Structure 1
Amino acid sequence: MPLRMRLTAITLDCPDPPALAAFYQQATGLEPHPKSDAEFAGLTREDGLFIGFRRVDDYRAPRWPDQTAPQQFHLDFAVEDLDEAEERLLELGAGKPDHQPGGDRWRVFTDLAGHPFCVVRG
């Protein structure tokens, strides 16, 4: 019988937690965690899900789609309009890799620390 576990937090390594938290806060509207600082910043969703950003010395950004520094994981976000989401994310400083395997169903971006993430039509 599987354990009854509920996902409560996701933490991303990065070189600048406050900057990465600000990027995702502007992109998602999640609330900043009041105890965020230069070493660890976070965002909280209404249902309690926490996204944390932890400073790591000598951080090495993933390379999409190159696997010399593998992505290890990525986040997916549902959006109503892919073009509108792309425009806003690029304004916020996201990168858009040339390799886009999702066609018109999803798009791959990279955050300020190089983590790939997808926006999907939802």
Structure 2
Amino acid sequence: MALVTAAVVVLDCAEPEKLAHFYRQLLDGEPGDAATDLIEVRGADGVRIAFRRDGNATPPSWPRPEATLQAHLVLLVEDLDEAERRVVGLGGLPTETRGPAGPYEERSYSDPAGHSFTLRLSPPPAG
């Protein structure tokens, strides 16, 4: 039996309720565990991500060089155009929408709190 059975990525932000709503909608997820200052979302595919309240949180400035990336999520999607429409409709902002053509085409965004993430086209199944 594995010693570690699950992992949760936690992003610090000023308003965890709003960011949890964004990712719950984006990931077709459902609410997970919640505490006063920590809200978890469980995506339809088993992805777990949480948002911790930090009143001093400042958005990363990536891709500008004055601050570090802090964290970066890569979300695999089957249709980049449809996923992009959803991201923008939920309040995400494109930071770079055109990547290299091919099986790993990707597009970069920031969520409403400024955290960066990438939508990457899922490679077709082998066979």
TM over 0.5: yes
Q: Is the deviation greater in 5-14 or in 84-93?
A: 5-14
Partner of residue 58, structure 1: 56
Higher alpha-carbon deviation: 56-65 or 27-36: 27-36
TM-superposed CA distance for 1:5, in Å, is 4.0
Match in the other structure for 2:106: 106
Alignment CA distance shift 1:48-1:94 (3 Å): closer
The structure in which a higher percent of residues are strand is: 2
Q: 1:84 aligns with which of 79, 82, 85?
A: 82
State the TM-score, normalizing by the size of structure 1.
0.83
* CA distance in structure 2 between the aligned counterparts of 1:65 and 1:46, rounded to whole angstroms: 29
TM-score normalised by the chain length of structure 2: 0.81
Provide the C-alpha distance between the structure 1 equivalents of 2:48 and 2:91, rounded to a whole number of angstroms.
22
CA contact under 8 A between 1:8 and 1:48: conserved in structure 2? no
> How far did residue 25 of structure 1 move?
0.3
Give unmatched runs, 5+ long, in structure 2.
Answer: 123-127
Q: 1:79 to 1:46 in 2, by over 3 A?
A: closer
Tell me the SS of whatever aligns to 1:51.
strand
Q: CA RMSD in A?
A: 2.2
Structure 1 equivalent of residue 39 of structure 2: 41
- Paired residues in the alignment total 118
CA distance in 2, matches of 1:108, 1:100: 6
